[in-house]
Chains A and B, each alone.
Chain A
C-alpha cells in the first residue's frame, strides 16, 4: 500500500483545516484505518513522522483506530466479521462474501493549539 501517499494525504487535510480553523500546532491526530484497508501501521507511522517534519503537525502523536472488517455472505444471508479481504465466510467457508466495511482510511479528528 501507499503509506507515504497516505501520510501526505493526512498532512494535506491537516494543513487545509489549519487554514480554515486557524490553529498553529497539532498535538494529536486520530486516524480510522480499516482492518481490510491493506495499510501497514508501522510504515504509516514512519512516513507520518517523515512528511510532517517542519509542518504544523510536526511531533504530533498519531493515534490509529482500527475499524473492523465486515462482509455480507450471500450463502448465510448474514453479516459476518472479516479479518482479511480475500477471506472465506467465517461461518460457512464459502466465497460469496461482499465486503461491507473495514476498507476505510479516514482522518477522524485533531487535537490542536
Chain B
C-alpha cells in the first residue's frame, strides 16, 4: 500500500465490473488456467510463463541456467515506461479516428462535472463522450448521461489517479465515433494525475476562484503539465477577494506557455471562448486523421507499384 496515498493495486472497477484480465490458456504440458482479457487492437500484455523443467536426477529449475555467477543486466528504462506505452497506444487509437481528447484535472469541487454538462449542452450536434474517474460512485457518469452523452465511470477504489491502462479499457467499451470529442474527467487531485499520461492531446487544469490564487505555486507539476487553465466560477468574484491577475501570473510563472480562459459554467461567461478552443482542437484532430490515412494510402500505393514492376 502506498505510504503517500494508500493506493492499492487491482481495485479499479470500470462501470461496476472489476477491471481484471481473463483468457483460457493451455500450456504444452496440458495445464489450463485463465486470464480474462479485453484488448484494444494493438494492446498486448506479456503472457510469458517460466516452465520448470526436470533434470534426469530429479532436480528442477528454470529454463536457462547460470549457476551462481553474478552479472550485470542493463535496463536503461523509464520507470513509468509501461504507462507511457499504454498511453501511446491510446493516442494512436484516438489519432486514427480524429478524436480530440482532453484530460481534465483539478482539486475536488472545482466544477469539472458541471462544466462538462454545460459544454455538452452547448455543443449540440457534436459527438461527445466522457470517461469519469472517481474513487467511488457513478454519480458523475450519471449526470453526464442525463445530458444525452455516453459516459463510462472508472472507480479507482483506493487509487488517486487514472492511468493509461484503465483508460484503454474504457475506450474499448465506449466504441467512439470518428471525430468525437472525448473528455476524461480525472480523479479530483492536483498532485498525482500530473505524472500519468493517458494518451490525451492536452491536460486542462481547472482552478476555481473559491480556491487560493497561489495554487499554481503550490502544485507546480500539475500547472506545468497543463496546456490550458480554466479559471472557473467567475460569477462568484464579486463575493470574494480573489486576485485574478495574480492567479494568472502565478500560473504563467510556473508555465509560461499555459493558455488561460475565464469561465462561469453556471452563468455562461467565457464559454464561447472555451467552445472555440474545442472546435479548433477537433479540426486539428481531423487533419491528423487525414494525414495518418493519407500516409498509409501512399505507402500502400508505393508497395503496389513495386509489386507490379518486372523482376530483373
Question: A15-23, A65-73, A75-83: which one contacts chain B?
Answer: A15-23
Contact of B78 with A112 in the complex, beta carbons under 8 Å: no
Known contacts A23-B66, A85-B220, A113-B66; is-contact A2 B77 (Cβ 8 Å): no
Known contacts A2-B7, A107-B79; is-contact A112 B71 (Cβ 8 Å): yes
A4 to B221, CA, bound (A): 19
Chain B residues with CB under 8 Å of A24's CB are: 61-62
Interface size of B by CB at 8 A reads 42
Interface size of A by CB at 8 A reads 41
Contact of A27 with B75 in the complex, beta carbons under 8 Å: no
Contact of B82 with A86 in the complex, beta carbons under 8 Å: no
What is the chain B residue whose CB lies nearest that of A46? Answer: B3
Closest 7 CB pairs of A and B: A4-B2, A22-B64, A9-B79, A107-B75, A105-B79, A110-B73, A86-B220
Interface residues of B (CB under 8 A from A): 1-5, 7, 9, 46, 48, 50, 61-66, 68-83, 191-192, 195, 217, 220-221, 224, 253-254, 256
Interface residues of A (CB under 8 A from B): 1-6, 8-10, 12-14, 16-17, 19, 21-24, 27, 31, 38, 40, 43, 46-47, 50, 85-86, 95-96, 104-113
29 pairs, CB–CB < 8 Å, chain A vs chain B: A1-B191, A4-B1, A6-B79, A8-B9, A10-B79, A13-B75, A16-B46, A17-B73, A17-B75, A19-B46, A21-B73, A23-B66, A40-B4, A47-B2, A85-B220, A85-B221, A86-B220, A95-B253, A106-B78, A106-B79, A108-B74, A108-B75, A110-B72, A111-B70, A112-B70, A112-B71, A112-B72, A113-B70, A113-B71
